[in-house]
Chains A and B, each alone.
Chain A
Amino acid sequence: MAAPPASAHRGRSRLLPAPRGLGPIWAWVTAVVVLAPATGTLVWMVLFNAGQGADALESIGLARTVELLGNTVGLAATTAATAVAIGVTSAWLVTRTDLRGRPIWTVLVALPIVFPSYVGALALLGSFGPSGVVNEWLGTSIPKPIGFVGSWLALSLFNAPYVFLLTVVALRRMDRSLEEAARGLGLGPWAVFRRVVLPQLRPTLAASVLLVALYAVADFGAVSFMGFDTFTRAIYSRFRIGDVESAVAIAAVLVLITIVLLLLVRDARKTSAPPSARSGREPVLVSLGGLARFGAGAFLTTLVGVSVALPTAVLITWTLQGSSASWTGLAAAAFGSLGVSALAGGAATVVAVPVALLVVRYPSRWSGSLDRVQWGLYSLPHLAVALALLVFALRVARPAYQTLALLVLAFVTMFLPQATGAIADGLHGVSPRLEESARSLGRGPAKAFTSVTLPIIRPQLATGALLVFLTTVKELPATLLLRPTGLDTLSVRIWSATEEGLLGRASAAALVLLAVSALPMFLLSTRDLRRARP
């Protein structure tokens, strides 16, 4: 017998009513209490606030709304195209050519993933213009890359590593014998790439384009530093002058755009073929001729120079020059960041356990919806989710306004899938027979879970908490909107110092931020890469 009947039934249960019921009440109560405020307010913003929203948009002006839409969509499109071009080119170079030092290039090209895009934007601002680091070094007078160009540059450079990682993993998992067969049929390296590799990469490319577009649409920090008017910047400036009505109206449009992109991502995922089986052999590497080798080297050197070396050098230089450094302020911000991020990581893990339990152990239409809601909240622009919780506090739960609890709730709401994903991984690895054994040995359902399953998934609990911690450390817009008075964090300090033109102070905070998060962030982001070792 290949599989015992019980597991066969479990397989069938996908199509039929779940045999195990909907799951424990306490798990549902936890999930609903945590996710309902943001979800409910967002639904209200989009569906039931249309009248007021239209009035607010009218007061902003049609031309202005169209301009915002054009800016946002244009930035998303150009950023996605550029990041995908950079990411795919470098991924192909490090996986399919005989370029020297490919393992080192792989690490270096992926490295900018540790820079939040607003820190990247800060570094670009610090490089050029009067007293720009690069201008001083080279004696040039290149203007600050503000507006569209600056936003496009920052978002492209610091999103390209995500595309790069996805593509490297896809390329490594591809069955190399197809490419060898094509070479055997007389195709040159370029023809093989175009006719064999690229078609297999199409799902990865589609997913990459949409993911980068999502990032760009949601980005707040970089466009604000560059002074480029997209929806997020407009929302924040409305909020800042106390015009919450308009902020909510613009946010509703932003949420709608994001939902359209999310639906496209889902379709792209659905049509994406599973990675084909790998043959264990090393690929036949394309040997680069002299000119191509020089070009490839120059391309990667420039890329890494601009996206790793330059930002690092600029941040260090400004920090050292910064006459306005206030060490006590910096220390307070660092403690604020660590404290609030630790709270968020812990709280998200506590909430993620019941949510992951429902999604993994009690598959049903309801737990499926719960899963979609948590991923939806994760994918929406942080600014929109934070604004929704702000509106919720102002209108429904006034005492929560400007409390630490509301800020932590925002982080849990936005980052929950990072923890549930890790925990779900763990739960999938724990055979239900273990808890059943514990039941037969006299433990009740709750005791069986806490004495067997929880200890076994401890590593995944830690991974989930760490992921949420790291994401919270660099979070900017929600922190700006919801932080209680008196709480300072590194991201807020970078923000306010840059607004005031104190690049030295901003750079010092950015370096501390990187010191805290860079290493674990890099290791966690490249997990798939290491699993798909060539």
Chain B
Amino acid sequence: MTAPQSLAIRCRGLTKHFGEVAAVDGFHLDVWEGSVVSLLGPSGCGKTTALRLIAGFEEPEAGTVEIGGREVAGPHGWVPPERRQVGMVFQDHALFPHLDVAGNVGFGLPDGDPARVAEVLDLVGLGDLSQRMPADLSGGQQQRVALARAMAPNPRVVLLDEPFSSLDAALREHVRAEVRQILAVAGATAVLVTHDQEEALSFSDVVAVMRAGSTVQVAPPTTLYLEPADEWIAGFVGDADFIEAPVQDGLATTALGEFPADGPDRVGARVMLRPESVVLEADETGKGVVTDRRFFGHDQLVTVRLDDGSRVRSRFGPTPVLAEGTRVAVRAESARVF
């Protein structure tokens, strides 16, 4: 049961019930050393439980967890969280309120190792705040102290449980970029739990989409977005419209163009269109009519009803202005056929 050296985390068939409810059910995951992986899923899909199983806060009923090639949960035994060498960053930061910043960061170090504390605080850019109490820090600063504390003992992997959702929207994107940068500089392996698909796509090297307790697709962000494994994933990771089209000889023919398709010839295949790939052009002889237009400044979202009754959306820059009722020609630059 030896995993390749370069796997930081290996989960196989993890299962955990709370009462009758299966929170995690046959969960698989591989995390390679030095990579950042997001566990993305809707509320209640078991992603936090999966993270807690890796951290050792919950004990699985079945399956194994290996960290750095060593089995930490499974038939061969159980390693408690304090001996797993994982760093944990929580949604509410969970800073020790009775200790100052240095005390928090040094908590996991032998004798609080001041040199290492200073080093990690510099890494997160808080070198001058070491004497502050957590209550006197802003949300973003607390976030960075929590990260510094988790990283100080050089864990094999940093686990982040919805770490940005407690920050307000204006701050969130900024802190997210900072944290990503800090992890990259340290070369750390990290697993991020989130329900925010934009966060997962922009933050990680690999996104593992979870549904009903197990992973349904594990892929790099671009692949996940452009080639989702099924319609549910397609809709969950971004805006998507679906139209039906016949497939013949590996080509799906739609009102918006022809697209390559896998599988046998069939009628009624589902074609997924991302609004960014749908291009509109005012055209009296076009096959669609603009029915709605939402203007956001940096871009706009225009809804078009095709003559066959289906509906697609198109996202593009602030111009041109296509008023409701305008007849347009519609084509798509890319599409995914299921």
Give A residues with C-beta under 8 Å from B. 1-2, 4-6, 8-9, 12-13, 15-17, 19, 431, 433-434, 436-445, 448, 452, 455-456
Contact = CB atoms under 8 A, between A and B. Distances in A.
Interface in B108-137: 108
A440 B87 contact: yes
A496 to B, nearest CB: 47
Given A4-B48, A4-B91, A5-B49, A434 B18 contact: no
Interface residues on B, range: 35 or more
Contacts of B83: 442
Given A1-B162, A5-B46, A8-B44, A436 B81 contact: yes
Nearest to A3: B43
Nearest to A20: B58
B98 A443 contact: no
B150 A444 contact: no
Given A5-B47, A6-B52, A437-B149, A443 B18 contact: no
Given A436-B81, A437-B107, 19 more contacts: A1-B42, A2-B43, A4-B48, A4-B162, A5-B23, A5-B48, A8-B44, A9-B18, A12-B21, A16-B18, A19-B18, A433-B90, A436-B88, A438-B107, A439-B57, A440-B55, A444-B80, A448-B82, A452-B96
B186 interface: no
A431 B94 contact: yes
Nearest to B51: A6
B19 interface: yes
Interface string B40-83: 00111111110010011110000000000000000000001111
A437 B56 contact: no
12 contacts: A5-B43, A6-B48, A12-B21, A19-B58, A433-B90, A434-B94, A439-B57, A440-B84, A440-B88, A441-B150, A442-B82, A442-B108
Contacts of B55: 436, 440
B20 interface: yes
Interface string B86-106: 111011101011100000000
Q: Is the interface of B mostly helix, strand, loop or mixed?
A: loop
Q: Which 10 A-B pairs have the closest CB atoms?
A: A16-B19, A441-B108, A433-B94, A1-B43, A440-B88, A9-B18, A439-B81, A1-B195, A433-B90, A4-B48
B49 A6 contact: yes
Contacts of B86: 440
A442 to B, nearest CB: 5
Contacts of B21: 9, 12
Interface in B236-273: none
A69 B92 CA distance: 58
Contact of B19 (A13, A433, A440, A441): A13
A439 B56 contact: yes
Contacts of A16: 18-20
Given A2-B43, A12-B19, A433-B90, A444 B48 contact: no
Contacts of A13: 18-19
Nearest to B88: A440
A12 B88 contact: no
B98 A456 contact: yes
A5 B44 contact: yes
